[in-house]
Structures are given as C-alpha cells and as structure tokens.
Amino acid sequence: MIETPSNSSKPKPQVGLFVTCPVDLVRPSIGFATATLLERAGCDVHVPPQSCCGQVALNNGQPEQTRALAWNIVQQFDEYDYVVIPSGSCGGTIKTHYPELFDEHDQRLQAVEAFCEKVFELTTFLTQVLDYTPVQAALDLSAETVTYHDSCAGLRELNIKQQPRTLLKRCANLDITEMQDTDVCCGFGGTFCVKYSDVSNHMVTNKVNNIRRSGASMVLGGDLSCLLNIAGKLQRLEPDNPNRVQVRHIAEVLAGELSTPAIGEHSPALEKGE
Amino acid sequence: MTDSRSRIIDRIARSTGGNFSTDSLEESFKALTVKHTLPPVQPQMEMADPVATFISEAGRNGARVTELESIAQVTPWLRDNTDNTSTSARFHLSPSILTQSLDWDGLTTTTETPTAAQSWGVVQAHTGIAETGTVMSLSDECPSGLLFLVERLVIVIAREDIVAYQEDAWQRLRARNILPRTVNWITGPSRTADIEQQIQIGAHGPREADYLVIDKPR
Amino acid sequence: MSQVQMHEPQPDFIIRSRASLEDEHLQEALEKAGSGFVHKRQAAIDRIGNFEQLRDQAQRVRARALKNLDLYLLHFEKKVTEAGGQVHWAETPEQMRELVIGLCQKQNAKTATKGKSMVGEEVDLNEALEAAGVAPQETDLGEYVLQLAHERPSHIVAPALHKTKAQVQRLFRDNHALGERALDEVADIVNEARAVIRDRFLQADVGITGANMLIAETGTAAIVTNEGNGDLTATLPRTHIVTTSIDKIVPTWEDASAILRVLGRSATGQDITTYTSFFTGARSDQDKDGPEQFHIVLLDNRRSELLGSEYEKMLHCIRCGACMNHCPVYQSVGGHTYNSVYPGPMGAVLTPLLRHEEQDNQLPNASTFCGRCESVCPVRIPLPGLMRKLRDREQRERKHAGMAQWAVKLFCKLSRHPAVYRRLNDFNLRLVAIARGRKPRFQSLPFLSGWTRHRDFPAPEKSSFQSQWQQRQKEKQP
Ligand code: SF4
C-alpha cells in the first residue's frame, strides 16, 4: 500500500530501537508500529537485547543503580547511528539525566554525552532528523475528532509539542482538537500513581474529564505509561459505554496500524480511515 | 546575639571564601558591584514616547489619568470632580502641593491625619515610571501615610518627571544624594484578591487613584 | 547489604491528602483559584516580548547575591545602622522569637500590627507574641481571615486560598458585631475588614512586616503588596520591625528591579503590584513621617548550610508562588496537606531542608516530576531535580531499605542482564495470560492495588516485544 522511499544513494541510517519496558511488556504493537515507521522513513531498524532505562531507580533515590543500568544501555546501543525511543519519558531520562549521573572525573562521561547526542524520541526523530513525509498518508482521519495528551517529560525535557501534530497532519491528515490543560500531568508519575494513588486518581480524573469535554472519540499520546493510566480511568468510569474514548499511542496512527484493539479494548475501532 | 552573627557569617564564608576585610566593606562592595554590574534587561515594550506609555500603562493598572496644561488647573479639576452631593470632602495636601500658590477657594483643606470617608489626598510625585505606569513618592517630600490613609488619592506628576524604566528612576534617586526613609511606588488603587481570588479594588489603601499629568510647573 | 524490612513510610501526607480530597470546601476553593493564576501569569508574559530574558537576569541576580552573601549582609547591616536602624541575627526560630519579643517589650508594646511575613510564619511568631502579652494583629486580609479561623496559610502569596467566600462570611458573622451591615458581596467583606483593621493601624505600638528583598547597597528593605496594609504597618507605629531571612539580599537597586520585573508577573500576573515600598532606617529630621525605630531581624535557620551545597539553588527562591499555582498535586490537595508554611514544589524542597524531620521525607516523594513548576519558576530553580536529590538523601540516611526500595534494586540488578530480564518478562506474561482468560483488562491486580483501586489495567499482548521481534527475525531468515 505504501512504498518505501528509495532515493538512497546515501547509506541507510542504522537505527537502534529502544522500545521501553511498558511497550515490551504490555503493548508490543507500539514497538512494531515504530519499526514499521522507521523502515518506511528509510532506516534499517535493529533491536539489540535491552531492558529498563533506569527511570524507576533514578526517581526513587537509587543513583548508583541507575548509573549501572545507564552504562549498560550506552554499550548495548553504541554501534548504531541513532537510538530511537517511542517515549518522551524514557527519552528524557536518557538525554537529560544520564549525563548528570556521571561526574566530570568519570572517564565514561564523554562516551555518555556522545551517546545522548544520537538518542531521539520518535516524533522528534521523524520530524527534525529525517523530515519524514510519507508519499501517501497512511490513514485519513480528517473526519475524526482526536485530541492529544502532551506527556510531561516529553513536553518539558525534550520540547515535544509541535512534532506529533505535524506528523499527524502528514501521515493521517488529522488536525488535533485541543483539550483544556493538555500540558497538565495525567497523574501517572511512575511509582507515584501507586504510592499516592488517591492524589493520582484526582489528577487522572481531571485529565479524563478534559478529554471527554473536548468531544474527541480518540486520545493519542507519545508515552504508553500515561496512556495506560488514562485508558484505565476511562474504562473504569464507563465500563459499559461502547462509545467511550479510545486510547492509542501516536506511533500506531502514524504507521496506519489500527488493527490491534485500542489500549484495553476488545475490538478494533476506527478503521474507517483504511 | 553577636555570637549568632559571627557564626552565621562564618558559615556563609565557608562557601563564599570570605575574601574581604570588614574594615573596608564599602570598598569591597563597590569593587564587586561595579565590576560585576549586569547590563540591565528591560521589558520589551513600546517606549518611543515614555509619557504616552506611562499614561497607557497606568490606565491598564487601574489609575485614572488626566492630562492638564499646568498645575494651576489642578484645583479647578478637583472642584469639577468632587461629587456635588459631598461638600464634606476634605483635601489633605502634601507639602509640595501646599507650597504651590493654588486657588483652594471652596475646597476644604486640612493637614490632619486622614480618617473621614470623604478624605482626598493631593500629592505631587517625584518621578513617574513609564514601564509600569508607576509613580514614586519620597517621604521627605510627602508623608508616606497620606498615600494610604485617604479614600481617594490624586497624584500630580509633571511630564518632565516621567522616565522610561526603573533604572532611570534609580538614577534620579541617586542624584539627590539623600535617600529618604521611605520610597513609595504606587501603581493604581489598592486592591486585594484574598477572597476567592476575585480582584477587589479598595483594600486598606485608597479606593481610587487619579494621576494628573501636567506640563512643567511654572 | 541492606536488610529487607517492612518499613512503611510515615503515612502522614497520604492520610492528609485523602482528607483534603474529600474536603468539599477546600476542593471548591481550589477549583475557583486554580486556573486563574495560570491564565493571568500567561497574559502578563504575553504582553512583553522578552520574559525569558527577564528570567535569566533574575536568576543571575540571585546567583550573584549568594556568591558574596557575607559581604552583602555586612554591608547591608552597616547601611541600616548608618540610617538609624539596627540589624539583629537569629540562627534559629527560637532566637528570632526571643529577639522580636524583646524588641516589643522594650517599647512596652501591647499590640503589634502585622503585615504578611512568611518568615514570621516559619518561626511561629504569633503564638510567641501572644504568650508574651503582645497581641499580634494581622492586617493582610487573607492573614486576618486566618487569624479569626485559627489557621495557617495554605499558600505563600494568597494565604487564605483554601477558604471559600461562604466560610469567610461565617467567620465574620461569628467574630464581628455586624448589626445591619451586609456581607453578601466580596466588596462588603473587604469593606468590613478595612473598617475593623483601620483603627488598629492607628493605635498599634509596633508594626511587624516581612521583606521581599534586602538591598545591600543602601540597607533597604523592599516590600511588595497590593492592599496597602504593609505600608500602614511599616509607617504608622513608632517602631517598625522587619522579620526576614538572610537569603533575601540583592546587591543593588538595579538588581532589585530585575527581581521586581519577574515577581509580580509570576505571582499574580501583574506587571507590578500596586505598592512597592523601600524602607531605609528610621525616620530622619527631613522625613515627614515614619517610625522612630527600625529593626531588621535576620533569620538563618539552616540557610547558611545550604550555601555551597547541592541544594544552594533553592536559596534563589523569590517566593512568587508560581510553582504551586502550576502544580497539579498542590492543586489537588491544597497547601495544608504539606503541613508546612512552605507548601507546593518549593515547600517540598525547602521544608525537608529547613526542618529536616522524618515526616518531611514524604514531601519530595509526593510529585510526579511533571516539571511544570520548573518551567514557570522565574529564577529557574530545578525543583524536580532538587526533589530527586532529596529522595537520594532519604535513601542514604535510611538504615533499612523498605520493601519498595528493595524491589527497585532487584529490578535494576536483573535489568542489567537483558537476557534474564527478557525471560523474566516472558514468564510474567505467561502467568498473566493464564490469569486473564479472555478479558481485555483487569479490575484488580495483586501488588498493584494502588492502581486498580481507581483504574483498570489492560491485559498485555501475548508475549514481549523482544521475543516477538526475535521470532520475526528468525522467520525472515532464508
Ligand atoms: S521556587 Fe520558583 S516558582 Fe516557586 S516560589 Fe520560589 S521562585 Fe517562585
């Protein structure tokens, strides 16, 4: 259906795909959608053995543990031209916080900094490094009302705001219907949502109410963790509503892969665009 | 508590290095602040005509601004603007206004502490700052309390005394060589938002603030 | 090696947050205040073209002030003295209380009017004054309401933010002889307070205010207000006492401007507050009014220890409140939940540093690290970064690792061996597959009850991404 652009006299970029723990465990389809997208954009995609970026340890008072994990990742991915991550949160952990973990006397610091230079969150990589425009849009969602949740780390550590909107226009002919407070936290916050579950619940309830008020039938985002939180709340609030808002990762829409049911849902939704 | 003082200073010196002599505080201070003077960063705004900016900013911040030709017009303006029904209005004048030979005929002036509900303050500002539509009053020219105790404050400001930015006001202040006990900056009427964050004009200070912008006093 | 122990964190914040979430009045008040601050700040920033540069400048000024804080403090003291005032130094809250009470007693003061002072709150000044026979009279409307209600501020700029109009009306009815006077509108409430407080200004023996800045150049205390109460407090009584802290120093008047330009805009969305006042020493012969005595009481309370430490940047804080106005946790639970005069993100950092009590360890943990506070802080304090350092400190100081910490460590150890990690994941997923049957999601999960109490959890797909990918690569091989 969509052909790969093959204007390549240049060697293809070799991309190491770092899928993140939640994608690996809960929703591998995001990983495959990401790989498909990168291949369509002219990259060779590699998936070396990988585990966690260390964010949980970093945010829970365990800098040594994080440092060890970080160094692991640097070594595992060092051979690629780029490292691409379908998450602003894990991307932010690596790009913003890895260099802080190694002090200036640590010989590894230089390698870590050089590594961070080639690490990119997916939508930033597609827009700013590749300037990816598909020959033909993967989907046409122009008739749909879709809103977008700007996840915190992506927004504030990596400045991801326009990138997803640009890509959704290019790949799905979609203009986002903005919700109120799109830049306010959904209340996930890693271990926060379990430790401070009532506060977290209050925050995700506000988020979900803003999503519903936007009139959207689908909410997209760039971080699976936030999306799990949002989907879980939407489904808890309206277990029997077949028309409740659907939740998906942006990579799924950009790749045109809506055959997998939306997060936490039974049956595929919104295939009209095909 | 001198011990506390030296202990606090010692702890701070652990981090700053404490490289100065207490006998030459002023020299050390000057060396530091002159050497490290930061070039000012001022808000980007229209400033071709500071008086015009002053008037628009003051208006936006809740002051009522009127342009008059000269100080002689201040008392006629007061007469026009005193509520006809409230002949009980009493005008509290700052010394700088008092010394002007104005025609107060028909207006009740006083130097008492303002308490009545119909108290007006009439004062002359030292400097106006266009950046925020602010007027500056000095306690060796005008009692500071007067600015706050009256119901309605009328501030006379000469066009020549309006400067563009805060830094310009500091220069004028330094040029006097005397720093009064109180330097008051006033921008509009007093207000509060302490009840449900609703802005309510007229808290403890004046409920209304009029700026009368005049040409150079005779 | 750390031992495995069931060591629950003190549940105070969590328990308090539950109560706050259920408090209808509080939720109503938070709702009403919520986005107002955010929008007003944004509008003020949009009116000028270079707010980011103003932030940079303010940050430079704060850094410069701390770099030679000892010199600036001593120069400040010298100038205050030359202007007929006096500077007093307090290492601890207790010392500050003693100093202030001593100054009041020297004047035989029976009453003291008070402007808003967070340092005064930090040292519990009101209770101490009362016990010493000096009646403190709050004059800031918000603080006055709280004095009637016997409550603490819940916000550093808007102290009574947690109170609804209806609650204030009730307080006034109970405490004022109202007679026929109406209280329906906010204007009525404000007028009522104005009338009651006006007399106190004129009669007080001593006026106590805080300070937003101390200008080293001339020994000047700068105070920023909107109501005018701070000025009446500072000007009318015979004695003016300023309760403040050593970190409030800025070197010059120009430096003060750099702070003023971001303070009002960040706090209330005002280009500048209605009143900005600069007090230097006691009244001189030339002055038309002002107090005969001027005292500055400087509090340290561990601030000097933060200088040069990894937490130094917290001393850059100019107390604008923008971080709490933009904090989704603060907006959910309100300021009292933090059990400190300093709530919200700045309090979550400052409270454990100044007070250093076990219960304060919860505060830096009660954050999602969403980073909104840092993105609005006018002096760019890396609040989440500092909270993260405090989480590290908590773990370092802890004798026994809790269950959760132990789990994090184990997870990290395993994660360093991706093959083990992958096999573990696949094993978990198989368990999940058995458990789920045909359900698309779970309503309850062991170990994740904090999650499933409020939301569903989707059933994972059949096996991990890494396994599926490997499988796919194998199939691709010719
Ligand atoms: S930490 Fe920053 S945003 Fe918060 S009160 Fe202090 S200066 Fe304002």
C90 lines ligand 1 (CB under 6 A): no
Q: Please, what sign has the CA dihedral across residues A220, C46, C374, C164?
A: negative
The confidence band for C22, taking pLDDT boundaries of 50, 70 and 90, is very high
- pLDDT of amino acid B189: 95
Pairing mode of beta strands A218-221, A146-149: parallel
Radius of gyration of chain C (CA): 27
What are the tens digits of pLDDT across the range A172-228? 999 999 999 999 999 999 999 999 999 999 999 999 999 999 999 999 999 999 999
Residue C333: inside a domain, yes or no?
no
Asked whether residue C255 carries a pLDDT value surpassing 80, the answer given is: yes
Asked whether residue B91 carries a pLDDT value surpassing 60, the answer given is: yes
Asked whether residue C413 carries a pLDDT value surpassing 60, the answer given is: yes
Is C186 found in the same domain as C59?
yes
C86: phi then psi, degrees, rounded to nearest 5: -145, 140
Angle, CA of C424, C426 and C428, to the nearest 5°: 70
| Domain closes at, from C247, C274, C305 | C305
CA–CA dist A197, A200 (Å, integer): 5
pLDDT < 50 positions in chain A: 1-3, 268-274
Using DSSP's 3-state secondary structure scheme, residue C186 falls into helix
Is B88 found in the same domain as B24?
no
Residue B108: inside a domain, yes or no?
yes
Contact indicator for A196, C20 with CB cutoff of 8 Å: no
Asked if C50 is an interface residue toward chain B (Cβ–Cβ < 8 A), one would say yes
Fill in the DSSP letter of residue C230. Answer: H
Of ligand 1's listed atoms, the one at least distance from the Cα of C318 is 7
State in Å: Cα B191 to ligand 1 middle: 23
What are the tens digits of pLDDT across the range C160-211? 999 999 999 999 999 988 777 778 899 999 999 998 998 899 899 999 999 9
Is B135 found in the same domain as B65?
yes
Is C207 found in the same domain as C80?
yes
What are the tens digits of pLDDT across the range C271-318? 999 999 999 999 999 999 999 999 999 999 999 999 999 999 999 999
CATH value at residue B139: 3.40.50.10420
Is B100 found in the same domain as B14?
no
> Most distant CA pair in chain A: distance in Å?
58
Chain A residues close to C371, C-beta within 8 Å? 152-153, 155-157
- Number of neighbours of residue C179 by Cβ within 10 angstroms: 5
Asked if A66 is an interface residue toward chain C (Cβ–Cβ < 8 A), one would say yes
CA–CA dist C459, B165 (Å, integer): 62
The answer to whether the CB atoms of C74 and B1 lie below 8 A apart is no
The answer to whether the CB atoms of C282 and B181 lie below 8 A apart is yes
Q: Do chains A and C touch (3 or more CB pairs under 8 A)?
A: yes
Is B191 found in the same domain as B110?
yes
State in Å: Cα C319 to ligand 1 middle: 5
The answer to whether the CB atoms of C366 and A199 lie below 8 A apart is yes
Contact indicator for C409, A62 with CB cutoff of 8 Å: yes
Asked if C277 is an interface residue toward chain B (Cβ–Cβ < 8 A), one would say yes
Residue C89: inside a domain, yes or no?
yes
- pLDDT of amino acid A6: 52
Residue B123: inside a domain, yes or no?
yes
- pLDDT of amino acid C287: 95
Nearest CB partner across the interface for B197, out of C32, C57, C282: C32
Give the total number of structural domains in chain C: 2
- pLDDT of amino acid C1: 36
Fill in the DSSP letter of residue C338. Answer: G
Domain A14-129 CATH class label? alpha beta
**Domain ranges, residue C49:** 13-305
The answer to whether the CB atoms of C234 and B181 lie below 8 A apart is no
Question: How many interchain CB pairs under 8 A, B with C?
Answer: 286
Nearest CB partner across the interface for A265, out of C440, C453, C468: C440
Residue in the structure block whose two tokens are 């939508």: A123
Question: How many interchain CB pairs under 8 A, A with C?
Answer: 214
* Residue C69 to chain A, least CA–CA distance (Å): 27
Across chain C, mean pLDDT equals 91
Pairing mode of beta strands B191-192, B200-201: antiparallel
The confidence band for B111, taking pLDDT boundaries of 50, 70 and 90, is confident
**Domain ranges, residue B16:** 4-34
C236 lines ligand 1 (CB under 6 A): no
CATH value at residue C206: 3.40.50.10420
Residue B40: inside a domain, yes or no?
no
- pLDDT of amino acid B85: 55
Give the total number of structural domains in chain B: 2
Cα end-to-end span (Å), chain A = 11
CA–CA dist C397, C255 (Å, integer): 39
The proportion of chain B whose per-residue pLDDT surpasses 90, expressed as a percent, equals: 74
| Least-confidence region, from B32-41, C120-129, C357-366, C414-423 | C414-423
- pLDDT of amino acid A269: 37
- pLDDT of amino acid B87: 66
Is C283 found in the same domain as C421?
no
| Domain closes at, from C272, C305, C338 | C305
The answer to whether the CB atoms of C304 and B12 lie below 8 A apart is yes
Of ligand 1's listed atoms, the one at least distance from the Cα of C346 is 1
State in Å: Cα C260 to ligand 1 middle: 13
Search chain C and give the residue with CA nearest A26: C460
Q: Whose CA is nearest to atom 7 of ligand 1?
A: C317
Residue B188: inside a domain, yes or no?
yes
Is B56 found in the same domain as B26?
no
The answer to whether the CB atoms of A236 and C371 lie below 8 A apart is no
The confidence band for B116, taking pLDDT boundaries of 50, 70 and 90, is low
What are the tens digits of pLDDT across the range C335-368? 999 999 999 999 999 999 999 888 899 999 999 9
Q: Please, what sign has the CA dihedral across residues C295, C255, C323, B190?
A: positive
Residue C454: inside a domain, yes or no?
yes
Query: Using CB atoms, which chains have 3+ pairs under 8 A with C?
Result: A, B
DSSP-assigned beta bridge partners for residue B67: B213
Find which of A17, A18, A26, A29 to mutate to test the C interface (most C CBs within 10 Å of its CB): A26
Chain C residues close to A187, C-beta within 8 Å? 328, 368
Search chain B and give the residue with CA nearest C65: B33
DSSP-assigned beta bridge partners for residue A13: none
Question: Which amino acid is it at C406?
Answer: W
Of ligand 1's listed atoms, the one at least distance from the Cα of C324 is 4
Is B93 found in the same domain as B144?
yes
CA–CA dist B181, C253 (Å, integer): 15
Is B90 found in the same domain as B11?
no
Using DSSP's 3-state secondary structure scheme, residue C213 falls into strand
* Strand ordering across the sheet containing B152-158: B64-68, B208-214, B152-158, B119-124, B90-93, B108-110
Asked whether residue B217 carries a pLDDT value surpassing 60, the answer given is: no
Search chain C and give the residue with CA nearest B94: C288
Asked if A140 is an interface residue toward chain C (Cβ–Cβ < 8 A), one would say no
Nearest CB partner across the interface for C48, out of B15, B38, B45: B45
Spatial CA neighbour of C188 closest among C413, C396, C196, C33: C196
Question: Which amino acid is it at A137?
Answer: A
| Least-confidence region, from A270-274, B57-61, C408-412 | A270-274
Q: Whose CA is nearest to atom 2 of ligand 1?
A: C377
Collect contacts of C33-40 with beta carbons under 8 A, ≥24 apart: C33/B196, C33/B197, C33/C158, C33/C161, C34/C331, C35/A181, C36/B197, C37/B197, C37/C268, C37/C269, C37/C321, C37/C322, C37/C325, C37/C326, C38/C325, C38/C326, C39/C269, C40/C268, C40/C269, C40/C270
What are the tens digits of pLDDT across the range C35-71? 899 999 999 999 999 999 999 999 999 999 999 999 9
| Domain closes at, from C305, C340, C363 | C305
Residue B68: inside a domain, yes or no?
yes
Whole-prediction pTM value? Answer: 0.93
Asked whether residue C85 carries a pLDDT value surpassing 90, the answer given is: yes
C164: phi then psi, degrees, rounded to nearest 5: -90, 165
Is B194 found in the same domain as B121?
yes
Locate the DSSP E strands across C109-205.
111-114, 135-138
Residue C258: inside a domain, yes or no?
yes
Asked if C288 is an interface residue toward chain B (Cβ–Cβ < 8 A), one would say yes
Residue in the structure block whose two tokens are 């309605």: B152
- pLDDT of amino acid B16: 94
CA–CA dist C66, A210 (Å, integer): 43
State in Å: Cα C320 to ligand 1 middle: 5
Asked if C363 is an interface residue toward chain B (Cβ–Cβ < 8 A), one would say no
The answer to whether the CB atoms of B183 and C278 lie below 8 A apart is yes
Of ligand 1's listed atoms, the one at least distance from the Cα of C314 is 1
Residue B39: inside a domain, yes or no?
no
Chain C residues close to A63, C-beta within 8 Å? 392
C379 lines ligand 1 (CB under 6 A): yes
Is B124 found in the same domain as B17?
no
Interface of A with C in 185-224 (CB under 8 A): 185, 187-204, 206
Is B74 found in the same domain as B16?
no
C262 lines ligand 1 (CB under 6 A): no
Nearest CB partner across the interface for B196, out of C32, C258, C284: C32
Contact indicator for C405, C395 with CB cutoff of 8 Å: yes
Find which of C272, C294, C295, C311 to mutate to test the B interface (most B CBs within 10 Å of its CB): C272
Residue C49: inside a domain, yes or no?
yes
State in Å: Cα C250 to ligand 1 middle: 16
Is B80 found in the same domain as B16?
no
Q: A4 versus C133: which is more confidently predicted?
A: C133
